[in-house]
Amino acid sequence: MTAKIIDGKEFAARVRAKVAQHVSRLKQDHGIIPGLAVVLVGEDPASQVYVRSKGKMTVEVGMKSVEHRLDVETSEADLLALLDQLNNDPEIHGILVQLPLPKHLNEDLIINSISPAKDVDGFHISNVGLLGTGQKSMVPCTPLGCLMMLRDHHGSISGMDAVVIGRSNIVGKPMAQLLLNDSATVTIAHSRTKDLADVVRRADIVVAAVGRPEMVPGDWIKEGATVIDVGINRLDAPEKGEGKTRLVGDVHFASCAERAGAITPVPGGVGPMTIACLLANTVTACCRANGLAEPEGLTA
């Protein structure tokens, strides 16, 4: 079988168009402009790229974008004071603190100081608990994007065998929870899993989120399975010229594509969905804050 390529770039553009349409309606009918605040502490180059991209796309869909770039030495007290100010700002509906934070800042404390209703990352302990009990919550962006693509491809994933490789709080755990809430039979595999190959071979759905380049080979994939590759790993590519690099996922794309029924590429798969889902979460948070109907198809 040769897999259908799930085009995340195109899918994300459709999600953003839906968000933009809803933002326009909020403005016209209610005079409300959804606002997203992004907080970046320090100058991590990858984080700077993400934050710039988030800001640009927020404005493109018609929302208000606020960026707070803080010095790497910012104290916990100062960061908490900023979050308090944003929590109480009626023009801000979504708050995102870019991770990782510098070591001297307590990440759990910071995340749990964001108002759960404005926690568009879905990392606050209240949102984690709500998701875990199947209640309405803010859902982490990357897993939400994966779920949207799976629902779009399969219609329903009820009863399917799903394996999530990776148990991070940002992707693996919430992904497993979302699959479970959609009635899949879910296995969470990780670095201590015995016979990972055997576990993956039984799966109708494989979500790889470990951060290890091309670790899933094609012969682990059940014929016709759907493969969602969350990994973004940069490898040296001397064949492209000196100092050149290339991006690869956590699955070996060419061999997995020969057996899978559908697969997301890297780049152009899950990646573009993350920011699209952040924008979707912001518009959802704005609607909830104002007691208005949420956009359909943009939440879990």
Catalytic member of 54, 118, 173, 222: 54
Q: Is 98 in the site for ligand GUN (CB under 6 A)?
A: yes
Residue from 99, 215, 247, 289 in contact with ligand GUN (CB under 6 A)? 99
Q: Is 119 in the site for ligand GUN (CB under 6 A)?
A: no
Catalytic member of 119, 121, 204, 250: 121
Among 138, 108, 111, residue whose Cα is nearest residue 122: 138
Contact 84/132 with Cβ under 8 angstroms? no
Is 7 in the active site? no
Residue nearer to ligand GUN on the CB measure, 51 or 251: 51
> Which region, judged by CB under 6 A, interacts with ligand GUN, from 1-9, 96-104, 175-183, 218-226?
96-104
Residue nearer to ligand GUN on the CB measure, 261 or 271: 271
Q: Is 141 in the site for ligand GUN (CB under 6 A)?
A: yes
DSSP string, the chain: --PEE--HHHHHHHHHHHHHHHHHHHHHHH----EEEEEEES--HHHHHHHHHHHHHHHHTT-EEEEEEE-TT--HHHHHHHHHHHHT-TT--EEEE-SSPPTTS-HHHHHTTS-GGGBTT--SHHHHHHHHTT-S----HHHHHHHHHHHHHHS--TT-EEEEE---TTTHHHHHHHHHHTT-EEEEE-TT-TTHHHHHHT-SEEEE-S--TT-B-GGGSPTT-EEEE---EEEE-GGG-TT-EEEE-SB-HHHHHHH-SEE--SSSSSHHHHHHHHHHHHHHHHHHHTT-PPPTTS--
* Residue 65 in tokens: 């974008």
Residue nearer to ligand GUN on the CB measure, 262 or 266: 266
> Which region, judged by CB under 6 A, interacts with ligand GUN, from 95-103, 200-208, 214-222, 229-237?
95-103
Q: Which residues contact 294 (CB under 8 A, 6 or more apart)?
A: 284, 287, 288
Q: How far is the CB of 100 from ligand GUN (least distance, A)?
A: 7
Is 21 in the active site? no
Q: Which of residues 152-191 bind ligand GUN (CB under 6 A)?
A: 170
Q: Is 277 in the site for ligand GUN (CB under 6 A)?
A: no
Residue nearer to ligand GUN on the CB measure, 36 or 257: 36
> Which region, judged by CB under 6 A, interacts with ligand GUN, from 93-101, 161-169, 232-240, 258-266?
93-101
Is 54 in the active site? yes
Using CB under 6 A, count the residues that bind ligand GUN: 8
Q: Is 96 in the site for ligand GUN (CB under 6 A)?
A: yes
Q: How far is the CB of 171 from ligand GUN (least distance, A)?
A: 8
Residue nearer to ligand GUN on the CB measure, 34 or 140: 140
Note the residues at the interface with ligand GUN (CB under 6 A). 96-99, 121, 141-142, 170
Tell me the catalytic residues.
54, 98, 121
